[in-house]
Chains A and B, each alone.
Chain A
Amino acid sequence: MADLLALLPLIVTTAAAIVVMLVAGFSLFGREVMALLTTGLFMFCFFVQAATLVSMPFFPYQQTFGSMLAVSPFSGVAGLIILACGGFSALASQTYFGHNKGYVPEFYAMLLFAACGMLLLTMAAELITLFIALEIMSLAVYVLVGADRERLLRAEAVLKYLMLGAFSGGFFVMGAMFVYGGLGTTSFAGISRVLAESGLFTSPLATAGFLLILICFLFKIAAVPFHAWVVDVYDGAPLPVTGFMATAVKTAVFCALVNLLLTDGSLLSVWRDILWYLCVVTLFTGNLIALGQTNIKRMLAASGIVHSGYLLIAIISADVTGASRTVIGFYLAAYALATLGIFSALSTLSGNDEKRISFADFNGLAKVHPYSAAMITVFLLSMAGIPPTAGFMAKFYIITAAFSAGQLVLGVLGLISTILSIYYYVRLIAAMYFTTPEDDFAITGLALAPAGTAVLAVAVFGFSLYPLGW
């Protein structure tokens, strides 16, 4: 019974997804009602997840379903972020599909199914479960990206994502096989037990397996050199989906990666040096890619690579205690707030068929829509890590963690990367404020996305005040 209680958020989300699927099948509601219904369901799931998280100290369900799943405060927080991302994306899509083609009612079912996969991913405590969760999530996201078959850009994006995603999925399965061959177990707890007994490098087969698994993860979080897909795919996907991918997918995958690497820390100690180089390359290549973009979506995609780099800093400087999980959770939440906010705002402002998407298209926005411009500025500043935003606090915690773990060089490189990243964030701010408007920035239709945007903008400040207990 405790098993089912621990799984309640997942069960509720799955049920919601199935309901929305049936509703979509019979075309019971119009587009706007579907969006509202989905937002409401996400909110409900969010509260269920919150209740589970709050009740966690009273029901110590650590391992469930024969240790195939593990529920922890960290997975709970990640679930909260994921469900909030889903809710805000659904809200933004209401506005987005008001002036964009490509709406299908199943869009919302897929959003919920993707969230199911992600929730499962955050709880997975075993390699096979992890893979199944990864695939549930990925399949739904493929559909979300490419639902609008009519547009070539979408088709191209989904093709690239699907092919490379399948490629990386293959690595994972092969890696899991090697690990099982080497260690005779696929559960995280079992792996760490075996490693603790027999040492780290006694099984080269398992080492090779972990490498392959790691490669799949690195692909999903878009770490260099497995990053190349991310810019094209984010660019090709509809704006709310891009926002959802950038936040929820990243949260879920990082949660799973942390669960795997930090089970007892021995795995991390093997990979720390390799991750160190990958992290540095990711930070700087991501910055350089972002700098070269003229399209805001592509810039944000590339900046997502950099943010993955920061999260890698946190993982590298992690210890086995909960503190590093807290830091990572905080960073994921802060990043999600700002990213969702900016994609929400873009969903409103981009106009018919995303016609306004380059930096130049937003020239002089501040003079026409001062509030929207101000909120976008807030989000960008949070991403760049300027106080007093949540993004600043998140970066502050990560760099502090790096320093206190003795990773001085990494911390300094992270700071340098922050300074570099200001260039492309501020570029949009400068375009909005210091140029004269050429566009009338007309916005049509009932708009819920601005409400979500405003909530997120407030949250960016509010969250920075949230005291992080160490």
Chain B
Amino acid sequence: MSAELVLSGVLFFGLVVLLPLIMLATAFLGPRAQSAAKNEPYESGIKPMVGRADQKFSVKFYLLAILFLIFDIETVFMLPWAVSLRELGLSGFIEMSVFILLLFTGLIYVLSKGVLNWR
């Protein structure tokens, strides 16, 4: 049998058997060092500013973060498009316009639901 069969066999083996095994194994095998410093929250090298990790905070933060993420990711599509705008020509421009228009309707919807009104 070919090398491919071996490869796929390995992948299958990994998927079905090895993965759970390894995950189980790490729970038993790995050394566990417990120290106060290790249990401290890590925030980009800065000491945590306020409160505790499990404290409640407004769901608005969550919504806003999600919205930021969505629009941020969509922006990523525009970078390669901008680079090759000349090659894509008019049809590329129209397609991107449609894309931006759709994004814009999404923004209108978000506005209409009052998500961005901080009350």
- A102 in the interface, Cβ–Cβ < 8 Å? no
Chain B, residues 5-37, CB within 8 Å of chain A (1/0): the string is 101110110010000000000000000000000
Are A26 and B112 in contact (CB-based, < 8 A)? yes
Q: A18-B102, A182-B4 are in contact. Are A208 and B108 (CB under 8 A)?
A: no
- Please report the C-alpha to C-alpha distance between residue A19 and residue B108 in the assembled complex, in whole angstroms: 11
The CA-CA distance from A182 to B4 in the complex, in Å, is 8
Q: Which chain B positions have C-beta within 8 A of A293?
A: none
- Contact partners of A26 in chain B: CB under 8 A: 112
- List of B residues within 8 angstroms of A205 by Cβ: 4-5, 7-8
Cβ of B15: which chain A residues have Cβ within 8 Å of it?
174
A455 interface hit (Cβ, 8 Å) = no
Which chain A residues border B8 with CB–CB below 8 Å?
178, 204-205, 207-208
| Residue B71 is within 8 A (CB to CB) of chain A in the complex | no
Residue in chain A with minimal CB distance to B1: A204
Contact with B along A306-321 (1 / 0, CB 8 A): 0000000000000000
Known: A18-B105, A208-B11. A25 touches B4 (CB 8 A): no
Which label, helix, strand, loop or mixed, suits the secondary structure of the B interface? helix
Interface residue SS majority, chain A: helix
- B113 CB–A CB distance under 8 Å: yes
Assess whether A204 is in contact with B112, with CB atoms less than 8 Å apart. Answer: no
The residue from A22, A182, A203, A208 contacting B109, defined by CB atoms under 8 A apart: A22
B58: interface (CB < 8 Å): no
Q: Which of B2, B11, B113 meets A25, CB within 8 Å?
A: B113
Task: Say whether A401 faces chain B, with CB atoms less than 8 Å apart.
Answer: no
Of all chain B residues, the one with the shortest Cβ separation from A19 is B105
Return chain B residues, CB-CB under 8 Å to A182.
Answer: 4
The answer to whether A25 touches B5, judged by C-beta atoms less than 8 angstroms apart, is: no
Q: Which residues of A contact B9 (CB under 8 A)?
A: 204
* In contact, B1 and A22 (Cβ under 8 angstroms): no
**Which residues of the partner chain A approach B102 to less than 8 Å between Cβ atoms?**
18
Q: Which residue of B lies closest to A25 (CB)?
A: B112
Max chain B Cβ within 10 angstroms of own Cβ: one of A22, A25, A178, A203: A25
For B109, the chain A residues whose CB sits under 8 A away are 21-22, 25
- Specify which chain A residues have a CB less than 8 angstroms from the CB of B4 in the assembled complex: 182, 203-205
Render A145-188 as a binary contact track against B, CB cut-off 8 A, 1 for contact: 00000000000000000000000000000100010001000000
A21 touches B105 (CB 8 A): yes
Q: Report B106 CB to chain A, min CB distance, Å.
A: 9
Known: A26-B112, A182-B4. 18 other contacts (CB 8 A): A18-B102, A21-B105, A21-B109, A22-B105, A22-B108, A25-B108, A25-B109, A174-B15, A178-B8, A178-B11, A204-B1, A204-B4, A204-B8, A204-B9, A205-B8, A207-B8, A208-B8, A208-B11
- Report the 6 A-B pairs with minimum CB-CB distance, sorted nearest first: A25-B112, A204-B5, A25-B109, A208-B8, A205-B4, A205-B8
